[in-house]
Structure 1
Amino acid sequence: MSFRVRRVTTTRAGGVSKPPYATFNLGDHVGDDPAAVAANRRRLAAATGLGDSGLAWMNQVHSTEVAVVDHGGDTVDDTDGLVTTRPGLALVVVTADCVPVLMADARAGVVAAVHAGRVGAAGGIVVRALETMVDAGADAGDVSVLLGPAVSGRNYEVPEAMAAEVEEALPGSRTTTRRGTAGLDLRAGIAAQLRGLGVRAIDVDPRCTVEDRNLFSHRRDNPTGRLASLIWLERR
């Protein structure tokens, strides 16, 4: 049996949160009114048609921990990657500059959602998630990946030493910002890493969270809300 893969990324629009989280904030750890976040999450669950129990959330901590889940409706603590083989269960990653990585093997019926910030990406969170997918039956050559909206290299300025350190761990990520300073393009580094692991189908959402005012950006506006990126399987 093959599956249809669904991938969704939200914007700032359509929610009930008040400034500075206006309006569709889906992060429950950024200081927003918990009732507003809960209402926004219910809206997301309804819009996907999956319901509250059809969404699996993470308490992201910039780790390299990956969890395999078979049900939703609650939050997995202290992890930055989720993997499932259950159709109709959406894996959710929340971001506001970090890279949301949505991976799927539609033939095997395995999907993953990963929160890849600088620390996690350099530490190998994406590699760990792919390994966990393979353990669940996926084949790297059949995996397709979407790297969602994130801060672009032209807007991600870091010290020279940090750029060199990340480049050593994640080759292809070092770049130059629009100001001519040292920068990081994590999506480029992750894409290169995945290609080296045999993944061929890699798409990159070109939007930069810093530049696009329709998206949340921690670097541009702090405090601010979080976008959600989801992936799930549907039976054909």
Structure 2
Amino acid sequence: MFLWRAEVQPGVSVAFTDTNAGNLALHVGDDAAAVLHRRARLEDVAGISPRRFQYMNQVHGNEVSLVVESGAAVEAGTAGEAGTAAEAGLPAPTADALVSLGGPLAVMVADCIPLVLVGAGSSGPVLSAVHAGRPGLFSGVIPAAVQQMRASGATDIRAWLGPSVCGNCYEVPAELRDEVAAHLPSAWSTTSWGTPALDLPGGAASQLDALGVPIEYRGPCTLENESLFSYRRDSRSGRFAGLVWTHD
């Protein structure tokens, strides 16, 4: 169920699921009841039940939603992922990053980076889950999430970069590589077969370094690892999740 899971500091765990957990997304044509059942099973295994992971309606932007308590965000979306999730009692905000003061968070991906951030607050951990694909990196979703965490009192923020497509595999047109690299030089790459590519983890790492946020973990390439969902391998792919939660 988990590709990687660890208690990263006392009372805080980070995990990344694999295909054994099944598809966790409501927007890819899967049966909604089956998806919600998988999510509930995941919460049981993580030991957070009756609390629930807060998901989001991801749109490849840089919007950050502050989750004021477990399962309740400042603003809830009304379409796509949000609409179906609301039926289960968990409105999903339209955003590409979530920040909470301890509430369980989730981000879903199939090649983009599932980034998890944990910081120390005056009354407990400050958590964030970030959907960092190419458009999100370009538009600054990572700095926006870190800024919101710091505005929420977080210090000593650390990062876990989950599995994503790597710079050896993420082939793109040369014009797109040049456009992104002009803004984020560390994302410039070449595939292992010699064509233009983008290195999303490299771009994310440089942004985190500039923000003074150390990286504790880097996941493997989704395209190279069949135990992970990959949209580039199969456009009908499901989604795995990056998770962060507090516990006793």
Q: Cα offset for 1:75?
A: 3.5
Query: Does 2:214 correspond to 1:214?
Result: no
For 1:36-47, list aligned pairs within 5 A.
36-47=34-45
* 1:36-62 deviation per Cα after TM superposition (whole angstroms, max 9, x unaligned): 111111111111111253311101111
Match of 2:11 in 1: 4
Q: Where do 5+ consecutive residues of structure 2 fail to align?
A: 1-8, 72-88
Match of 1:184 in 2: 198
Q: Cα offset for 1:168?
A: 2.2
Match of 2:115 in 1: 101
The match for 1:152 among 166, 190, 197 is: 166
Query: Does 2:83 correspond to 1:85?
Result: no
Q: Residue type of the partner of 1:83?
A: V
Secondary structure of the corresponding residue to residue 218 of structure 1: coil
Q: Cα offset for 1:5?
A: 2.4
Preserved contact between residue 80 and residue 125 of structure 1 (Cα < 8 Å) = yes
Match of 1:225 in 2: 238
- The alignment's TM-score, normalised by the length of structure 2, stands at 0.84
The match for 2:142 among 126, 142, 163 is: 126
Match of 2:74 in 1: none
Match of 1:112 in 2: 128
Secondary structure of the corresponding residue to residue 220 of structure 2: coil
Preserved contact between residue 154 and residue 178 of structure 1 (Cα < 8 Å) = yes
Are the structure 2 counterparts of residues 163 and 203 from structure 1 closer, same or farther at C-alpha, using a change threshold of 3 Å?
A: farther
Preserved contact between residue 48 and residue 247 of structure 2 (Cα < 8 Å) = no
Partners of 2:120 and 2:58 in 1: CA distance: 26
Q: Residue type of the partner of 2:20?
A: A
Q: Cα offset for 1:25?
A: 0.5
Report the more deviating stretch, 206-215 or 226-235. 226-235
Partners of 1:65 and 1:92 in 2: CA distance: 15
The match for 1:169 among 183, 186, 195 is: 183
- The alignment's TM-score, normalised by the length of structure 1, stands at 0.88
* 1:77-99 deviation per Cα after TM superposition (whole angstroms, max 9, x unaligned): 3201000113xx21100000000
Secondary structure of the corresponding residue to residue 55 of structure 2: strand
Preserved contact between residue 24 and residue 38 of structure 2 (Cα < 8 Å) = yes
Q: Cα offset for 1:204?
A: 3.9
Match of 1:20 in 2: none
Number of corresponding residues: 220
The match for 2:62 among 49, 64, 75 is: 64
Preserved contact between residue 121 and residue 153 of structure 2 (Cα < 8 Å) = no
Q: Cα offset for 1:233?
A: 2.8
Partners of 1:207 and 1:171 in 2: CA distance: 22
Partners of 2:117 and 2:197 in 1: CA distance: 26
Match of 1:135 in 2: 151
Q: Residue type of the partner of 2:15?
A: V
Match of 1:17 in 2: none
* 1:185-217 deviation per Cα after TM superposition (whole angstroms, max 9, x unaligned): 111111111111112x20343411111110000
Preserved contact between residue 59 and residue 75 of structure 1 (Cα < 8 Å) = no
Secondary structure of the corresponding residue to residue 186 of structure 2: coil
Are the structure 2 counterparts of residues 113 and 208 from structure 1 closer, same or farther at C-alpha, using a change threshold of 3 Å?
A: same
Q: Where do 5+ consecutive residues of structure 1 fail to align?
A: 15-23
Match of 1:30 in 2: 28
Q: Cα offset for 1:107?
A: 5.4
The Cα RMSD (Å) is 1.6
Q: Cα offset for 1:111?
A: 1.0
